[in-house]
Amino acid sequence: MARTFATRALLPLLLLLLWWACTRGEGNFYVPTPVGLFNAFLTEWIPHRLLHDAAPSIVRLLCGFALSGVIGIGLGLFLGRSEVFRQVLEPILEFMRAIPVPVLVPVVMLLSGIDDDTKVLIIAFGSIWPILINTIEGVRGIDPLLIDTAGVNHIAGMPRLLHITLPAASPQILAGLRQSVALSLILMVISEMFASTSGLGFSIIQFQRNFAIPEMWAGIVVLGLIGIVLTGAFAWIEHRLLNWYRGLRATASS
Amino acid sequence: MRFSPSQVRPAAGVVGALLLWEVLVRLTGVSSDIFPGVPAVARELWRLSHNFAFWLALALTLRSWLLGLSIALVAGTAFGALLGLQPRMEEYVHDTVEFLRPIPSVALIPLAVLLYGTGLGSALMLIIFAAFWQMLLQTIHGVRDVDRVANDMARVYRIRGWSRLFHLVLPSALPYMLTGLRLASSVALILALTAELIIGTPGLGKEIALAEQAGATAEMFALVFCAGILGVVANLGVRALESTLLSWHPSRRQKA
């Protein structure tokens, strides 16, 4: 049965209706009415908060993620090829991967204070590990036949990197990047809630402390939307980049 | 006694890292308030191991983590099985799930504080919200991925209902569900520590925050190290569970 518009819209509409119905009358302290939420959104968040707090947060998020991507993939490509270095660093990498990322926030803050650079560093330092480890695994897992073919045809250096190593390892690398996107978002919010005076996370906390509940909810909605947009954008990019991989898997399993 | 290179190198790596850390600290002369040396952290670790408050905090973290994980496990499996076995219902729910799933659990922190203050309830709210989605999605995949040949055989032998569920669907779904458990347990630990770090729910994360505020950096590093060990142990635990429960699975058996 195809997912028609009716089936897809039914549950969300029902939930919206339920929300509206439950908040009618004298109103609930913890949950604003749909109209109240929309109003808070318009008055508080557009344009001040969105421009001053949300936008810089998103920029920091993207910078941190980009930094962790570049360093993670670069280092991962090297370590994937060099068995010696990989074995030496393995315990440290596995330990860093297992550390729950929030506890790294105070550590990084010790070194560089509470300004913008710190937040980018926190995001980068926390979200690099899945990328690094997945890149290493991706490079190590390249079909030896490909490597031998490259050797026979004297393909080395940059062309080999671009045309053989990277594409072959890209499913794994993109899986690591996907985990990192989620981690970057979490770290962005935590770094702003832990010890900060600006940013999206800080704003939401501030609204909560001042009991400005509809504004707080509007902030949560903004965060949720950022999460959805980031996840959706990344899924689309991954879909485009890995078309060849899906086709390959389909023919292999049929 | 001869050691192979693959045994020596990791050990050398760890020793080398510790040495590098100590050398850097001494060379740069950085104050121990900012970056303690290895002996200071080791001393703190020793002191903590004798400290009842530390073990209590660890136990509280474990409590939040395991309790939240269990609830998310049960709910995620139940709903996942329901949605996986009933594709029609899944069509109604699909978009809502895809909408709610990417919402970072940390966004709910202020709401949790409002509703439950700084107690266990806040931590549980965050943990369950995050871990539930992992279990749900993996269970749905698992329930759907029943081998077609086995499925047809079950139909031929008229195996239906609960029997079919236990003998056909469950074994097929088990690898996926254990992957879901692994992902969910890691997310749950992250959120348990986040709740303690940010909200101040009692536990290891709260001790880290307190040490940071008091400027006791050596203690803070020792606690962070303990949190890392906790993560490693949790990881190993789930993998051991996976090995035990999936020992029958073809992917884990060597070809004769």
Conformation bin of residue A49: beta by default, left when phi > 0, alpha when psi is -120 to 50 = alpha
Cα–Cα distance for residue pair A73/A131, rounded to 1 Å: 7
Cα–Cα distance for residue pair A148/B99, rounded to 1 Å: 45
Name residue A254's amino acid: S
Q: Which of residues 35-74 of A touch B (CB under 8 A)?
A: none
Taking only the tens place, the pLDDT of each residue in A76-106 is 999 988 888 988 898 899 899 889 989 998 8
Q: Do A186 and B194 make contact, defined as CB atoms within 8 angstroms? A: yes
Taking CA–CA distances from B93, the nearest residue in chain A reads: A11
Cα–Cα distance for residue pair A208/A214, rounded to 1 Å: 9
Cα R_g (chain A), whole angstroms: 23
* Contacts with B252 (C-beta within 8 Å, 6 or more apart), sequence order: B243, B246
**Helix A200-209 crosses helix A55-81 at what angle (to 10 degrees)?**
130
Closest residue by Cα to residue B245 from B171, B188, B182, B143? B171
Contact between B25 and B35 under an 8 Å Cβ cutoff? The reply is yes
CA distance to partner chain B, nearest, from residue A107 (Å)? 7
Name residue B80's amino acid: G
Name residue A224's amino acid: G
Continuous segment of H or E residues that includes residue A79: helix A55-81
CB atoms within 10 A of CB B81: 20
Taking CA–CA distances from B187, the nearest residue in chain A reads: A100
Each residue's pLDDT, cut to its tens digit, for chain B (256 residues) gives 677 877 888 888 889 889 888 888 888 877 777 788 888 889 999 999 999 999 999 999 999 999 999 999 999 999 998 888 888 888 888 888 888 888 889 989 988 988 888 889 999 999 999 999 999 999 998 888 888 888 888 889 988 888 888 888 888 889 899 989 999 999 999 999 999 999 999 999 999 999 988 888 899 999 999 999 999 999 999 989 988 988 888 776 765 4
Q: Do A8 and B93 make contact, defined as CB atoms within 8 angstroms? A: no
- Position of tokens 């799930």? B97
CA distance to partner chain B, nearest, from residue A161 (Å)? 27
Cα–Cα distance for residue pair B50/B75, rounded to 1 Å: 38
Contact between A136 and A216 under an 8 Å Cβ cutoff? The reply is no
Q: What's the whole-model pTM score?
A: 0.88
Of the residues B111, B137, B207, the best mutation for testing chain A's interface (the one with the most A CB atoms within 10 Å of its CB) is B111
Question: Of the candidates A1, A88, A109, which has its C-beta nearest B9's C-beta?
Answer: A88
Conformation bin of residue A100: beta by default, left when phi > 0, alpha when psi is -120 to 50 = beta
